[in-house]
Structure 1
């Protein structure tokens, strides 16, 4: 048979035979961002636990950022000793994250260059937040990290080497694994039924109301789910979990996370002021702040201006909501999978495998760390390593919020879908504030239950 008469099947076969065999894929090619986050976060937790157990009096030296006067800034924060610790910490984090990026096929050279800049901005944010006056007003490092990222990202066009390192989801997922070690079920039990009830009632109702508002304003459901999760559960962390569960658009996630932090600033200032002006009972005020503010740090900072009991109540309620991250991820993955299925008449019925594919795997690392430190690790060990793990978690989060700022655009807040997602977020947050205050009164004000003994 001549070449001209060869059929297509034979030609295709010959071409395939003549082509070189495809290169063998690396074992790490199958590692997703979630797997790397769990791997690195778990490695850090295990390493700290082992060192604290094997080395008597072990305490990892972390950079110092707290200062009050110019002298403190120069002699403590900017001292040669502290700068060396900052550099050593940066190198360790670069090694951990750079290994993941390199084995995943990314450019280590570009990532290292971009990481250096992001790390410097993250350090500046922590130095600003470390000032005693700034700390007094409850303005934490995440706000300054976001602002620095926004200013930098909106002034210049990001080069490719910087984009390679601006991996907000990867950084924050890794930090969330470590956060699991500080989210203890035993703390939640202290609040008893009122704390658990408030968390469930606030999260479930606010989530559906936020989604309803989004739909009324003609915001697409993908945006609505991410937005509703951020408002109802715990801000940026919940938004990332929801985006993972529905495999959402990263630009929409960046939009929502920027909104979360921009709206958090006035809430941190106004809500404690309202607690005092309206003479809201201290524990009720703390539960209110814990159910509406988006991070444990902002809750603590704002509630401490109200009182010690308010701070404890706020943190307990916030921990209760943090634990619901895993539950929310599971139900969002199921709901979204079946919702997409019913929208398509020809689609096959989705099984558990589809739900598992959508489920954000890093949430399992968060839950596992929480269970480990709640029930298996002795409380003395937990107390010894708590500060160290919190310090390391802070670095990951600072890197994440700088990256969020770099990826976001001020103009997008108005231009994206005509600014309707921003209006939906603000409307949902307003409902969240009123709804949470109602249940804080009912559950912590001695109306439905005795006032919890929080000491």
Structure 2
């Protein structure tokens, strides 16, 4: 979560952190709020057209399934105008937010053009009829391609403005709300919160306990603990500010999150496939055990795509994987960032600062929770509530035959584009050479939490709360 996403390498992560601080001081809002605005604007436009008898289907274009290059070329040529219109729409809307955040708009647009074209090629490869046989799902292709390019070549600095990992993932999550009715959140939300609470508390205390046993500073131990227990990068940044940890400690925590998030984005879907887990259960396990929203969404979407293309290979609706992930991660785990920031700010102020003789400056009011709370979650809930209201005006048959294909499906297509921008940006901003300076003690402490997190996530998802996750999408 920006609270959500996977970061880039340590050096870029530190620079991004500084940029994030500057953005929060801008007079025209924050990245969180602009993500909410962009996502809700897209949904509003889609509904306005739907209500007037139209649709954004022509704009929300994607390659059709193909088996030979001739068919692919014909399809791309036939929809060239739609692709250009889609690029223009994304570039204009995103540029408004980029300008408001005080970032270079021209650099963003030029870099985004490359991101868009590469994403279109990734979509095309994912639409190949044999793609599922080789596990060539667009999220994993985007991440893997980005990692190869960034670690074999040097990505030009001028593209940095367009590699907005957290902004893309926040917009995508707001759009995701349009495909996740509020009734589903109300029904499964308590289960997700209960499961997330168990995992968050257990993982934090395991990492913190091992770190303290290894003589790691208590502030650093807290940053590592929450980074593993909640949502990785943003959690580490938020907790570092709350307990006043050193900048290099935050960078190490971010690096460890990056390492394990990349491992899990490939490992969890593969393990789920080998175990034959239904889509809802696999999504819940991924949501419980991943360390970043962007990586988790890539894994959950890849598993759902596998279920969609490899008919009968696993049980459950293809969309249930992503739905379960969002309920588990965004609705469940991510809300803990504010709780941990508030609680640890108090501990750092009343105990740790006094133990070290430091001047007490950390604020410990209820406002801290709101400051740390991921605002894009509000956009997600608004989108979900709005679509629930729309659905209430139709019968179930009408919703599936009219509302879904004309209103909801195009929003889902836009969401998939935005997620692909995010996954590609993750890969292009991650360099393995920068991930080798973490040190053995922090690595040991964080890895202990990873082991506990994965095992508990499996037990809770596959056994304890399995009936709830199995029922998703039915």
What is the distance in 2 between the residues matched to 1:214 and 1:144?
A: 35
- Greater RCO (Cα-Cα under 8 Å, separation 6 or more): 2
What is the match of residue 265 of structure 1?
266
Unaligned runs of 5+ in 1: 1-26, 230-237
CA drift at 1:93: 1.0
Spell out the pairing of 1:273-284 with structure 2 (5 A cutoff).
Answer: 273-275=274-276
What is the match of residue 345 of structure 2?
337
1:118 aligns with 2:115: yes
Question: Measured at CA, do residues 398 and 441 of structure 1 come closer, stay the same or move farther in structure 2, by a change above 3 Å?
Answer: closer
Deviation track 1:194-237 (CA, whole Å, cap 9, x = no partner) reads: 676545544553454455556667575434423332xxxxxxxx
CA drift at 1:44: 0.9
What is the distance in 1 between the residues matched to 2:446 and 2:326?
A: 23
1:99 aligns with 2:96: yes
Deviation track 1:264-283 (CA, whole Å, cap 9, x = no partner) reads: 213322332134xxxx8998
What is the distance in 2 between the residues matched to 1:108 and 1:398?
A: 21
What is the match of residue 309 of structure 1?
316
1:433 aligns with 2:454: yes
CA drift at 1:174: 1.6
Structure 1 stretch displaced more, 367-376 or 141-150: 367-376
What is the match of residue 50 of structure 2?
52
SS at match of 1:173: helix
Question: Measured at CA, do residues 192 and 401 of structure 1 come closer, stay the same or move farther in structure 2, by a change above 3 Å?
Answer: closer
CA drift at 1:355: 3.3
SS at match of 1:61: coil
What is the match of residue 60 of structure 2?
62
Kept in 1, the 8 Å contact 2:111–2:162? The answer is yes
Equivalent pairs, count:
412
Deviation track 1:45-76 (CA, whole Å, cap 9, x = no partner) reads: 11111111122466343332343422465345
Q: 2:426 aligns with which of 379, 404, 423?
A: 404
- Structure whose alpha-carbon radius of gyration is higher: 1
Kept in 1, the 8 Å contact 2:110–2:159? The answer is yes
What is the match of residue 23 of structure 1?
none
Q: What is the TM-score of this pair, normalised by structure 2? A: 0.72
Kept in 1, the 8 Å contact 2:139–2:301? The answer is no
What is the distance in 2 between the residues matched to 1:107 and 1:398?
A: 22
Q: What is the TM-score of this pair, normalised by structure 1? A: 0.75
What is the distance in 1 between the residues matched to 2:431 and 2:269?
A: 23
Question: Measured at CA, do residues 107 and 292 of structure 1 come closer, stay the same or move farther in structure 2, by a change above 3 Å?
Answer: closer
What is the distance in 1 between the residues matched to 2:162 and 2:228?
A: 25
Unaligned runs of 5+ in 2: 1-24, 242-249, 291-295
CA drift at 1:291: 4.9
1:347 aligns with 2:354: no
What is the distance in 2 between the residues matched to 1:139 and 1:69?
A: 14
What's the C-alpha RMSD, in Å, of the aligned pairs? Answer: 3.8
Deviation track 1:376-398 (CA, whole Å, cap 9, x = no partner) reads: 65363762422111111122221
Q: 2:374 aligns with which of 360, 369, 376?
A: 360
Question: Measured at CA, do residues 202 and 105 of structure 1 come closer, stay the same or move farther in structure 2, by a change above 3 Å?
Answer: closer
What is the distance in 2 between the residues matched to 1:146 and 1:282?
A: 21
What is the distance in 1 between the residues matched to 2:256 and 2:272?
A: 24
Q: 1:328 aligns with which of 336, 339, 347?
A: 336
Kept in 1, the 8 Å contact 2:188–2:327? The answer is no
Question: Measured at CA, do residues 93 and 194 of structure 1 come closer, stay the same or move farther in structure 2, by a change above 3 Å?
Answer: closer
